Amino acid sequence: MPVGIDDLAIYVPKLYVDCNDFAKARGIDPHKLEYGIGIRKMAIVDVNQDPACMAANACLKLMEKNGLQPQDIGRMYVATESGLDESKAMNSFVIGMLEQVYGEGSFEHAGGIECKFACVSGSYALYDNANWIRAEENNGKAAVVIVSDIAKYDIGSTAEYTQGAGAVAMLIKENPRLLAFDQKVTSTIITNEYDFYRPFGKETPLVNGNYSNLLYLIQVRKAFDSYKEKALRYGLIDLKDGESITDHIDLISVHLPYGRMGEKALAYLLRHEWRNLPRWKEVIREVGIEEPTPRDPRGTIESILADTEFMKADEKFRKLFMQTALYHEAFEKKMASSLKASELIGNLYTASMYMGFRSSLEFEYKRGTDLNGKRVGFGSYGSGSSAMVFSGVIQPSYKEIVSAMNLEEEIGTRMKVSMDEYEGLHRGIGRGLFDSINHSNKEFVLIKIGGKLTKKAGLREYVYTT
């Protein structure tokens, strides 16, 4: 029984920072942000928004778009690393908001949890709910998986320009119109790492940037190797001599802390897949130098990063590799379209890969690509650290969904904020919940947070604005 993504909907907050303004304020070359990082605008939340109301807004859009009623939904999961409570799950906040529209108790049957494993948790939520439907535990009902996050870093930090906010809600059901997951090939890797983490009580993360980037590449590659072994074992893909398994994956969506990282991830994966194939001779001939190897045979992340001579040589090789005709062809066909939304929104943590998938569907369709039967490969990574690689096939009925996609219309009219306004919002000073910059209309917003000295400390109240 095919199970997968039937439809999806997005929510992006209506405020943004223009990266030219950001670059000027921080003394950065604007060219570096737009072309070196792959970001033009960073979405930011208003004072009356949080990950829960963004998740509820995305879910409401999904339900209204598909004419769904609460009785059609059997499960609701929210995956996030921007948790609001160390006990109360975010999906309960979301259900409470939705019941303002659909009626009290209307979602009481829709069980679920909040999933957390940094940016990979949405993929685990999809996997769990797809198997719930395959096991026929769903009693004919669909599942909703929502990924919602606020990517926030310290002002003045090197990661400050990789912020963003938004949510994606996905309808998971049997016989999906959009994408059916490939069975028996989903692969995961997990290890205990401190590449990126946020201790209790800290609003922004602690990041070991170079370590985290390299760990992302290595973990996704390991999960991909496991995926490849399963795909060949179960006959999902039949490799001919001289072929790479990437030749059988038409579109690739990966975790996107920033757009350029997606390009680097593709380059790393293709180097790994191609270096033992005949085409590698063509690559080396065009690059003009041999691929460097680390001096330390252990190949640990620590030893690689400590080998500064190798790191410098490898960076040079990577840049030259990404200029080759073979890489450029693969990038344009498989990934380029998935980066367009990231340029306009920024980092979405759990939602970044799925916003990328949404982006690739729209922009491939608009450039005339026949998506029917195309296989999409997903490379999901969450710091801490875990990676998941899986795939799915776009279904014949995809045009029902994709033909109506319009990213700018779905984002809606946005307001550019000044750097002073941005820093005030970032620090949480100067404005209360009722002093929002943007006037909300027909969406959920936060109106109250309980005081620290009351029995209702931390209580959060939301309202649907009209």
Catalytic positions are 81, 119, 255
CA angle 433, 438, 441 (to 5 degrees): 95
CA dist., res. 283 & res. 290, Å (int): 10
Q: 165 has which bridge partners?
A: 150
The answer to whether 222 touches 387, Cβ cutoff 8 Å, is yes
ω into 385 cis (within 30 of 0): yes
For the chain, the maximum distance between any two Cα atoms, rounded to a whole number of angstroms, is: 70
CA angle 73, 75, 78 (to 5 degrees): 115
Q: How far is CA 365 from the centre of its chain?
A: 20
Query: Using H for helix, E for strand and C for coil, what is the string for 347-359?
Result: CCHHHHHHHHHHH
- Six token digits for residue 466: 């009209």
Q: Which amino acid is at 147?
A: V
The DSSP result for 149-173, as a single string, is EEE---TTSTTGGG-EEEEEEEEEE
Cα R_g (the chain), whole angstroms: 22
Neighbours of 213 (CB within 10 A): 18
Q: Which amino acid is at 58?
A: A
DSSP 108: T
The DSSP result for 318-330, as a single string, is HHHHTTSHHHHHH
Residue 117, helix vs strand vs coil:
strand
Residue 385, helix vs strand vs coil:
coil
Which residue has tokens 């199970």?
A: 3
CA dist., res. 250 & res. 179, Å (int): 13
Residue 135, helix vs strand vs coil:
coil
Distance linking the first and last C-alpha atoms of the chain: 41
Residue 438, helix vs strand vs coil:
coil
**Which residues, in sequence order, are CB contacts of 193 under 8 Å at separation 6+?**
215, 383, 384, 385
DSSP 437: S
**Which residues, in sequence order, are CB contacts of 423 under 8 Å at separation 6+?**
155
